[in-house]
Amino acid sequence: MKLASNLGRSMSRAMVYKGVSMVLSLVYVPIVLNYLGDYKYGVWASILSILSWISYFDLGIGNGLRNRLSEAVASDSPRVSPKALVSSAYAILSGVVAVVAVVCGIAIAFIDWPALLSAWEVDESLLCVVELSFLGMCFSFVLTLCNSVYYALQRAQVVNLISVCQQAVMLLSVWLLSLTDSRSLTAVAVFYVASNILVYGAFTIYVFARNRELAPSPRSCSRAVATDVGGLGIMFFITQIATLVLFTTDNLIVSNLFGPEQVTVYTTANKVFTVLSSLFAALVVPLWSKTTVDYARGDIAEIRRTLGKMHRLFAVAVGGVIVMVLVFKPLVSVWLGRDLGFDDSLIALMGVYAIVYMWNTIYSQVINGLTLVNFMVAVACVQAVFNIPLSVFLATSCGLGVNGVLLGTIVTMLISSVTYPVYSKKVLDRAEASSRGVE
């Protein structure tokens, strides 16, 4: 089992793959839109939005495996064998997904999907499309656990490569469908599920073929290990849900307070700055598992050196955000072909939001890598509780309008922007002092 050690190469490849994936996703939209037409595409987008919640059904097991496996492969004499960790994680996730598939699969049959999606004009069985998509995604969901294995082996760039391959297969399949006159929503669902299973299945086989000592086996499963990984995963899961509340409620608040038209302005501005923050996040993702490995080895100095590199990268990214703020209006006018009436203060706040988000991205990886889950859960829950009332207060009582909603989110994010660096430094200082005491 060989760990990747070149952080710079891993980061650069991750960014390249992320960029290619974003381009492919942009190309995919008009092709599937032309194939399905506006009406059916809207229905398919709504179905995907609902199914996206499946990503939270793993109860954080993937993240729990990522940390425990990173620790195990970094140690010459691990407390728990890596094979037992992988086997137990696959076992417990398979059990969770099986229960979810049965319960939700039955529940889906009792939902009036045409009424829920306002899609009475679709000439296909929406129940069939949803059931097929849901059950197929449940099956492929277990396969996505290979992402955690790649992360633990410090090969985060492979996860981005998987996304590229998945987008490419989906794009090819829809292009082939576009050569026909079927306009079948069911066919799009079939190829969507098949692309997930095909790509993740191939990369799962590859990683375990190259690392046979990690390949899952029923005989290597352990209830104690499963409990440990699952318990750690639950903590990550709580944080995921709290973070979901923090980052996905702004559109709902804007829509309820100021109408859907303002949501268009808000989300369009957000999408532009998300390009920068997403690319930055792709660069920083390897920091999580690298921190876990370095901390397990007691190499605190290496963690500090890596953080120094991240800070320099952050400074470059801040420069990119400033440029984006300056060229935002002409850039968006070319992209959309019209002006949505963006307010200068909203653009500036979006820039601030992107900067704070990227800073948080660095230290959330460190906090996750150090497995400081109790602290992370506490901070995330505080943010989730305060975000909505603060955003509403600033938007209405303070008369800031849409800007107040965004400002509320920024202020809430500052909680982790300050506490994460302070607490992680305290932990690293304590570990360094302890190491010196032993020496």
The residue out of 248, 268, 298 marking a domain boundary is 248
Whether residues 159 and 261 fall in one domain: no
Specify the DSSP class assigned to residue 397: I
Note the pLDDT of residue 223: 84
| Separation in Å, CA 40 to CA 264, 277, 417 | 21, 31, 42
- Going by C-beta distance under 8 Å and a sequence separation of 6 or more, which residues neighbour residue 174? 28, 31, 32, 35, 188, 191
Share of the chain above pLDDT 70, in %: 88
Whether residues 99 and 129 fall in one domain: yes
The residue out of 193, 228, 248 marking a domain boundary is 248
| Separation in Å, CA 132 to CA 14, 100, 125, 186 | 32, 15, 11, 8
Q: Are 71 and 78 in contact (CB under 8 A)?
A: yes
Q: Answer yes or no: is pLDDT of 206 > 90.
A: yes
Whether residues 12 and 49 fall in one domain: yes
Whether residues 238 and 253 fall in one domain: no
Nearest CA to 268 out of 281, 282, 251 is that of 251
Q: Record the tokens describing residue 104, joined without a space.
A: 């939700």
CA geometry: angle 242, 245, 249, nearest 5 deg? 170
Note the pLDDT of residue 312: 92
The residue out of 228, 248, 268 marking a domain boundary is 248
Whether residues 200 and 300 fall in one domain: no
Q: Are 111 and 251 in contact (CB under 8 A)?
A: no
Specify the DSSP class assigned to residue 398: T
CA geometry: angle 115, 121, 125, nearest 5 deg? 75
Domain of 163 in residue numbering reads as 1-248
Once rounded to an integer, what is the mean pLDDT over residues 358-363? 93
Give the amino acid at 243.
Answer: T
Give the amino acid at 427.
Answer: V
Pick the more confident residue, 207 or 78. 207
Whether residues 118 and 172 fall in one domain: yes
Sequence-distant contacts of 37-42: CB under 8 A, at least 24 apart: 37/183, 39/119, 39/121, 39/122, 40/122, 40/183, 40/185
Give the tens place of pLDDT for each residue, 2-13. 555 556 667 777
Q: How many domains does one find in the chain?
A: 2
Whether residues 367 and 272 fall in one domain: yes
Q: Answer yes or no: is pLDDT of 248 > 60.
A: yes
Give the tens place of pLDDT for each residue, 328-357. 888 877 766 666 677 888 889 999 999 999
Whether residues 362 and 426 fall in one domain: yes
Give the amino acid at 283.
Answer: L
Whether residues 23 and 134 fall in one domain: yes
Give the tens place of pLDDT for each residue, 94-139. 888 888 889 888 988 888 878 776 666 666 777 888 888 888 888 8
Pick the more confident residue, 263 or 404. 404
Note the pLDDT of residue 314: 93
Q: Record the tokens describing residue 62, joined without a space.
A: 């993937």
Q: Answer yes or no: is pLDDT of 271 > 90.
A: no
Whether residues 121 and 210 fall in one domain: yes
Whether residues 223 and 368 fall in one domain: no
Q: Answer yes or no: is pLDDT of 358 > 90.
A: yes
Q: Are 408 and 347 in contact (CB under 8 A)?
A: no
Note the pLDDT of residue 282: 78
Radius of gyration of the chain (CA): 23
Note the pLDDT of residue 355: 95
Note the pLDDT of residue 182: 77
Give the tens place of pLDDT for each residue, 424-434. 999 999 888 87
Nearest CA to 254 out of 273, 241, 267, 244 is that of 267
Whether residues 63 and 127 fall in one domain: yes
Note the pLDDT of residue 263: 65
Beta carbons within 10 angstroms of residue 82's beta carbon: 23
Give the tens place of pLDDT for each residue, 13-53. 777 887 788 788 767 777 777 787 767 776 777 777 677 66
Confidence of residue 235 (pLDDT cuts 50, 70, 90): confident
Q: Answer yes or no: is pLDDT of 323 > 90.
A: yes
Q: Answer yes or no: is pLDDT of 298 > 70.
A: yes
Confidence of residue 157 (pLDDT cuts 50, 70, 90): confident
Nearest CA to 62 out of 137, 147, 1, 135 is that of 147
Pick the more confident residue, 34 or 248. 34
Note the pLDDT of residue 55: 64
Note the pLDDT of residue 344: 85
Note the pLDDT of residue 340: 66
Q: Answer yes or no: is pLDDT of 423 > 90.
A: yes
Sign of CA dihedral 177, 51, 159, 277: positive
Note the pLDDT of residue 437: 57
